[in-house]
Amino acid sequence: MQWFFDALNFITGLGATVMLPIVLFLIGLILGAKPARAFRAAVTIGVAFVGINLVIGLLTGSLGPAAQAMATRTGVKMDIVDVGWPAAAAIAFGGEVGKWIIPLALGVNILMLLIKATKTLNVDIWNFWHFAFTGGLVYWATNNMALSLAVAALNAAIALFLADWTAPGVQKLYGLPGISIPHGFTAAYVPFGIPLNMLIDKIPGLNKLEADPETIRKRFGVIGEPMVMGVILGIIIGMLAYLGDAAVGTLGVQIQKILALAISLGAVMLLMPRMVSILMEGLIPISQAAGEFMQRRFQGGTFYIGLDSAVLVGHPSAIALGLILSPITIALAIGLSALGVNRVLPFADLAVLPFLLAMVAPVTRGNIVRGSIIGTIVIALGLIIGTVMAPAHTGAAIAANFTMPFAGATISSICDGTNPLTFLLYSMTRGGGGLGWILWAVGVVVLGGVIYLYKKNSVKWEAIAGGPQPEEVAEEEGELVRV
């Protein structure tokens, strides 16, 4: 029997860079990918993890100490480094839950299609990481694998419902017939956007305002580029942390440190996405095989095809909104930190802000002024959530074999560390045990009830989410495609 435990210990000791490629290789084969392709893909994923780990090290190693120095000198305590969604995705896929998320989320989708609880055939395998992330946080808190997988599955089911609900509005605003967006981050803000938009409708003056996206984009120019934004933030943070501090060294040494920090942060902004693109490349053969597998199973049916919200953010209003929200996010972080409720230092995920409201945009009809107001509210809330969830986020990262540069370093990411849906699911089940399962079951029942109500009155629901008004709908609600 001893050999069995030795083998088990050996396997768990391999870590994300070895274990995940092996698991994904097997999943690829089961879904019908060619062995040579699946092997190359699996190795690519392992390599990507090594790369992402290097860049997280660079980021937390350079920004972490600077943030702490800044906190001590200015009293603005923002010592939780925002490592960004690329790192969060790697943490999610690299964790225990992440290894099983592809078959799990596919299973949830198949089940919901069979019982006609969704119309979305989700082929966006990459974004399963959001569900794995939530599950990973729960696993960190409870050490209960079954419950963690169950929470991840519930998250996947909620995303499918949100995708169905918002599909007509998204299709109309973005001109994407047959598409829905079961995205764990972008879709999560729709339930917030709708009431806030209704509230704005009631405020005289405010309900008439609008801004032109093109002008906003031109105003920001080169600063809008993540790499340049990284360098500028690096100089500002560096000055607050090191300038005029004799303990650091002479003025020359201080300036050296500031400029080194600035270039390092510019490097992170450029390199992190590149590393994730390698991870993405490795997942392609597997996600393709999974997509084809799903389409074979449901041949002849009509569906929405579920895609990444990246297909939305090219819209001028999404880009403009992302640019406006960057300084707002930093200002909020400083303000809330002064109030003692935020410790997150927004950085790498400033680049992800266009995603935040891409699915709320149909609700506001693409109105940027409204987007900015709603964005300000959800980001403020998000920073507080991010501060609360940072220990779990950091714990999940360590569990996935990512190295923290120094003891006590804490990380977060705007996507999904500040995601209210992730927070809700995590808070409900983090206690684990019987109560965790009961609250999970409540979540399932509530979702079932909501889907039932939505299906009974879908046209009205969809109109609220930015779809065509009931009187505009002749016979069909959203455009479906035949697979």
Partner 1 sequence: MAGKPKTILVACGTGIATSTVVANLVEEALRDRGFNIHVKQCKVAEVQAHLDGVDLIVTTTQLSGNFGVPIIKTLAFLTGIGKEDALKQIIDALNTAKV
Q: Which residues bind partner 1 (CB under 8 A)?
A: 86, 123-124, 126, 174-176, 178-179, 217, 224-225, 273, 276-277, 280-281, 284, 287-288, 291-292, 295, 305, 307-316, 318-319, 354-355, 481, 483
Residue whose CB is less far from partner 1, 181 or 389: 181
- Among residues 79 and 124, whose Cβ is nearest to partner 1? 124
Half-sphere exposure of 263 (CA within 13 A, CB side): 5
* C-beta of 156 vs 305, nearer to partner 1: 305
Task: Considering the complex, state which of residue 183 and residue 257 has its C-beta at the smaller distance from partner 1.
Answer: 183
Q: Tell me phi and psi for residue 302, to 5 degrees.
A: -115, 135
- Residue 303 pairs in a beta bridge with 481
Residue with tokens 């339930």: 191
Q: What is the closest distance, in whole angstroms, from the C-beta atom of residue 72 to partner 1 in the complex?
A: 35
Provide the minimum distance between the beta carbon of 15 and partner 1 in the complex, in angstroms, as a whole number.
24
* Least CB distance to partner 1 at residue 375 (A): 17
Q: Do the Cβ atoms of 87 and 56 come closer than 8 Å? A: yes
- Closer residue to partner 1 in complex, CB, 89/385: 89
C-beta of 155 vs 288, nearer to partner 1: 288
Choice between 291 and 386, CB closer to partner 1: 291
Please count the residues of the chain: 483
Instruction: Please report how close the Cβ of residue 343 comes to partner 1 at its closest, in angstroms.
Output: 27
Q: What distance in Å separates the CA atoms of residue 310 and residue 326, rounded to the nearest whole number?
A: 18
Query: Least distance in Å: CB of 307 to partner 1?
Result: 5
Q: What is the largest CA-CA distance in the chain?
A: 75
Shortest reach from residue 460's CB to partner 1, in Å: 28
> Least distance from C-beta 285 to partner 1, angstroms?
9
Among 356, 342, 272, 328, which Cα is nearest to 83's?
272
Query: At closest approach, how far in Å is the CB of 78 from partner 1?
Result: 25
Q: Which is nearer to partner 1, 315 or 393 (CB)?
A: 315
From the list 20, 24, 17, 102, the residue with the least C-alpha distance to 52 is 17
